[in-house]
Amino acid sequence: METQTIIQTAESSLLHTYNRFPIVLDHGEDVYLYDTDQKKYLDFAAGIAVFALGYSNDAYKTAVKEQVDKLVHTSNLFYNEPAAKAAKKITQLTGMDRVFFTNSGTEAIEGAIKLVRKYAYNKDGRTDHEIIAMKHSFHGRSMGALSVTGNDAYQAPFKPLIGGVRFAEYNNLESVKSLITDRTCGIILEALQGEGGIYPASKEFMQGLRALCDEHDILLVCDEIQCGMGRTGNMFCYQSYDILPDVVCVAKALGNGLPIGAFLCREECAALVPGDHGSTYGGNPLVCAAANAVMDQFEELNLTAHVKEVGAYLYEQLEQLTAEFDCIKDHRGIGLMQGIELTIPVGDVIKKAQKEGLIIISASGNVIRFVPPLVIEKKHVDEMIAKLKKCLQ
Ligand SMILES: *Cc1c(COP(=O)(O)O)cnc(C)c1O
């Protein structure tokens, strides 16, 4: 199909929930994407922090292809080897004891919400438990996940949402404390807020939350869907705060493009039992084979060390850019999850960047978000900065 025909065909049938860019992506190579007109783009979005390994990782591709030939799906009425292996690996990497595999990040959040409620229910039999979430957070679009997402515009048309959710100020421990009641069963947050505008949590805040949760027997839920899987230079972002959450949600880069997410917990809070939760596809052999290949590649390529190095370089370069351009108001982030806040509309810069052959995305608050494949090299950072400069001039 011609590019314009593809776009028209899509627009004539897809529910219009996205304002898509008029680009039809065709294939990827290394850390570059090509559209149907063979235009080449440097990819600094990675399909929204998903394609960690880039587009030319042979070990990943082979693992997925071999599993397609072997067995794609079994249902969870039976065991399968890729899921067993993936479960072992992801629990070890997170420091958690138990995992439930989902098909998306949103579903991981749904599971985590059910888990914290069930944990509290087991203690006191009440059904009026409360969850504290953060303002400017993002946890997904289903009714449960939306209920803990601190964004009024996303929530407004869909009320009533699930009850008992209170929103605290991010990085403000007193604000969280003031919302705690004898019904609070969970506190959920991203250690580095992504969609909300690239805001890292302070050490005092994370450690303060941990202490608060210990004191009140509240479960601390870390949404690592975007900031996890090596993106900040640690396998999981909370690991840089010297704390262990009770529940961890993962997705995005876990499957490197295949739909797999997970929620994990410590043994003491593994409150869900047969009949409480389920998923037909969740953790099927195909997606788990992908996740295994991803986790193996992290080790093989020593990706977290690589992210620390290239992330620090990106940080320096963006600091320089911020000093150079008045239209950049602020620069924040960790590793390969950084953002610059602009005084000019980010939408215009993003469109200009596409013309220059650079894919970047936005985050809330007029922020350009940099979440490239984790395998990018310093030369790609240089290329991105050169292209971005042209767009800001
Ligand atoms: C993307 C994202 C989600 C939702 O994940 P989906 O796979 O889109 O359902 C939840 N939390 C955070 C922090 C995210 O970035």
CA 38–ligand 1 middle distance (angstroms): 30
Binding-site residues, please? 105-106, 138, 141, 223-226, 279-280
Contact assessment for residue 71 and residue 248, using Cβ atoms and an 8 Å cutoff: no
Same domain (yes/no): 239, 210: yes
Residues 41 and 126 both lie in one domain: no
Q: What is the pLDDT of residue 266?
A: 98
4 CA to middle of ligand 1, Å?
A: 30
The answer on 112 and 167 residing in a single domain is yes
Q: 117 and 162, same structural domain?
A: yes
| Best residue among 102, 147, 225, 249 to mutate for probing ligand 1, ranked by most atoms within 8 Å of CB | 225
Cα→Cα distances 283→50, 86, 279, Å: 17, 9, 9
The residue whose C-alpha atom lies closest to atom 15 belonging to ligand 1 is 226
Last residue of a domain, one of 276, 300, 324: 300
What CATH number is attached to the domain comprising 96? 3.40.640.10
Q: Is the CB of 251 under 6 A from ligand 1?
A: yes
Longest pairwise C-alpha distance within the chain = 61
pLDDT, residue 267, reads 98
Domain match, 295 and 157 both: yes
Cα 352 to ligand 1 centre (Å): 27
**266, 284, 300 - which closes a domain:** 300
Strands of 358-359's sheet in order across: 25-29, 32-35, 40-43, 358-359
> Which atom of ligand 1 is found nearest the CA of 137?
13
Closest residue CA from atom 6 of ligand 1: 105
**CB of 225 shorter than 6 A to ligand 1:** yes
Asked if 77 and 24 sit in the same domain, the reply is no
| Residue to probe by mutation, ligand 1, list 113, 195, 224, 238, most atoms within 8 Å of CB | 195
Q: What is the pTM of this model?
A: 0.98
What's the confidence (pLDDT) of residue 237?
A: 98
What is the rounded distance in angstroms from the CA atom of residue 247 to the CA atom of residue 88?
Answer: 16
Are 129 and 117 in contact by the 8 Å Cβ rule? The answer is: yes
Q: How many domains does the chain have?
A: 2
Euclidean distance between CA atoms 367 and 344, whole angstroms: 10
Range of the domain at 358: 3-56+302-392
On whether both 375 and 353 belong to a single domain, the answer is yes
309 and 292 within one domain: no
- Is 194's C-beta closer than 6 angstroms to any atom of ligand 1? yes
Q: Does the residue 61 lie in any domain? A: no
Protein residue with its CA nearest to atom 11 in ligand 1: 139
What is the distance between the terminal CA atoms of the chain, rounded to a whole angstrom? 36
In this structure, is residue 121 part of a structural domain?
Answer: yes
In a domain, 243, yes or no: yes
pLDDT at 108: 98
Any ligand 1 atom below 6 A from CB of 245? no
- Whether 246 is covered by a domain: the verdict is yes
Domain boundary among 277, 300, 323: 300
Which CATH number does the domain housing residue 307 bear? 3.90.1150.10
Query: What is the atom index within ligand 1 of the atom nearest the CA of 251?
Result: 7
- Structural domain contains residue 65: no
**Within a domain: residue 64?**
no
Q: Distance of CA 357 to CAs 288, 360, 373, 384, Å?
A: 33, 10, 16, 9
Give the β-pairing of 219-223 and 247-250: parallel
Both 232 and 256 in a single domain?
yes
Q: Is residue 237, in this structure, part of any structural domain at all?
A: yes
Could you tell me the mean pLDDT of each successive run of 10 residues in the chain, 393 residues long?
96 96 98 98 98 98 98 97 98 98 98 98 98 98 98 97 98 98 98 98 98 98 98 98 98 98 98 98 98 98 98 98 98 98 98 98 98 98 98 94
